[in-house]
Amino acid sequence: MIRAIDSHTAGEPTRMVLEGGPDLGDGSVAERLQRLKQEHDWLRTTTILEPRGSDVLVGALLLPSYDPSCVSGVIFFNNFGYLNMCGHGMIGVAASLAHLGRIEPGVHRLETSVGIVTVELVTPQEVTVENVPSYRYRKDVAVEVEGFGEIKGDVAWGGNWFFLIDDAPVPLKLDRVDCLTDRARRVRDALWNSGITGEEGALIDHLEFFSPPEAADAHSRNFVLCPGNAYDRSPCGTGTSAKLACLAADERWPQDQAWIQEGILGSRFQGRYRIGDRPGEIVPSITGQAYVTGEIVLLQHPEDPFREGISCRTLRRF
């Protein structure tokens, strides 16, 4: 039995797992993530994949933090595997913890596999996440995409690795998501095939297109393709962090000033940054709203062939 709280942040869902996960032993969140991945991937597949979940869901496993200053540790995952950080997910976690009465308005620290982030619970729904330090790794990287020619973008870290393309190939509208998804997948595959990576060979697994915003008071609109091929319904917290890192590197946006990022639904995050400790690094903060949508219990009948979700692995049982 898995107990979870469901929420959505700017339209993007998060399932925060409270109970029913495996014993991952001691160590940092990064070490326990490796144990979860290698020995207990069933938790991810059961929680996220159909028939109990969907490709759009992001999971957040709560676990005791290693660092005593943190209220909790969190491991994020989705239909494809494990995420390093997740901005919309962290906003959803904070709103879900508030819903359970586990945190009060104020500032709290949470441990992820890539570092400690702070969340400020402004109201039970409004949360500001101070993300891990972010930076642009490479500017104007050209990649040859079959059928579409050369496409240029920046490679940046915002808690996940992103390829950011300034000119969206088609309008960033909900009725164009099939085309956007297809185009983004082709660019991502081309990056992989050309050996273009993040720092130290890290896989670039998020793709981001930008266009001017629709709302007069916003600064930009985006479409984000996540690993696993679902698009982010929110403006993507780590993606907005990567965007701010590029803007800061180009001196196109000053620190401490609010950047309004619209997502594909028109829902928004407000981003800001301060200069980080290391050259070229910024520390982004992302503000958004999350709403709790359910308190759920997932059941697994021992004879259910899909008790661990529908995947190539479970299909081999037939």
Catalytic residues: 86, 236
Q: How far apart are the first and last CA of the chain?
A: 24
Q: Cβ 219 to ligand PYC, closest distance in Å?
A: 18
| From 153, 237, 263, 284, residue interacting with ligand PYC (rule: CB under 6 A) | 237
148-177 residues in contact with ligand PYC (CB under 6 A) are 160
How far apart are alpha carbons 21 and 108 in whole angstroms? 23
260-299 residues in contact with ligand PYC (CB under 6 A) are none
| From 111, 154, 232, 281, residue interacting with ligand PYC (rule: CB under 6 A) | 232
Helix (H, G, I), strand (E, B) or coil at 200: helix
Residue 200 backbone class (left: φ over 0; alpha: ψ -120 to 50; beta: rest):
left
H-type helices in 216-263, by residue range? Answer: 237-249
Query: What is the pattern of x (binds ligand PYC, CB under 6 A) and - over residues 84-123?
Result: --xxx-----------------------------------
Q: Residue 19 is inside which H or E element, if any? A: strand 12-19
36-75 residues in contact with ligand PYC (CB under 6 A) are 58
Q: Among 36-44, 100-108, 183-191, 228-236, which window interacts with ligand PYC (CB under 6 A)?
A: 228-236
Q: Does 226 bind ligand PYC (CB under 6 A)?
A: yes
Rank residues 34 and 229 by Cβ distance to ligand PYC and give the closer one.
229
Q: Cβ 111 to ligand PYC, closest distance in Å?
A: 17
Q: Does 184 bind ligand PYC (CB under 6 A)?
A: no
Are 107 and 128 in contact by the 8 Å Cβ rule? The answer is no
Rank residues 222 and 314 by Cβ distance to ligand PYC and give the closer one.
222
Using CB atoms within 10 Å of the CB of residue 250, give its burial: 0 to 12 exposed, 13 to 18 middle, 19+ buried. Answer: exposed
Q: Cβ 44 to ligand PYC, closest distance in Å?
A: 14
Centroid of chain to Cα 148? 28
Q: Does 198 bind ligand PYC (CB under 6 A)?
A: no
Rank residues 36 and 129 by Cβ distance to ligand PYC and give the closer one.
129
How far apart are alpha carbons 277 and 133 in whole angstroms? 9
Helix (H, G, I), strand (E, B) or coil at 46: helix
Angle at 134 between CA 111 and CA 250, to 5 degrees: 165
List residues binding ligand PYC (CB under 6 A).
12, 58, 83, 86-88, 160, 226, 232, 234, 236-238
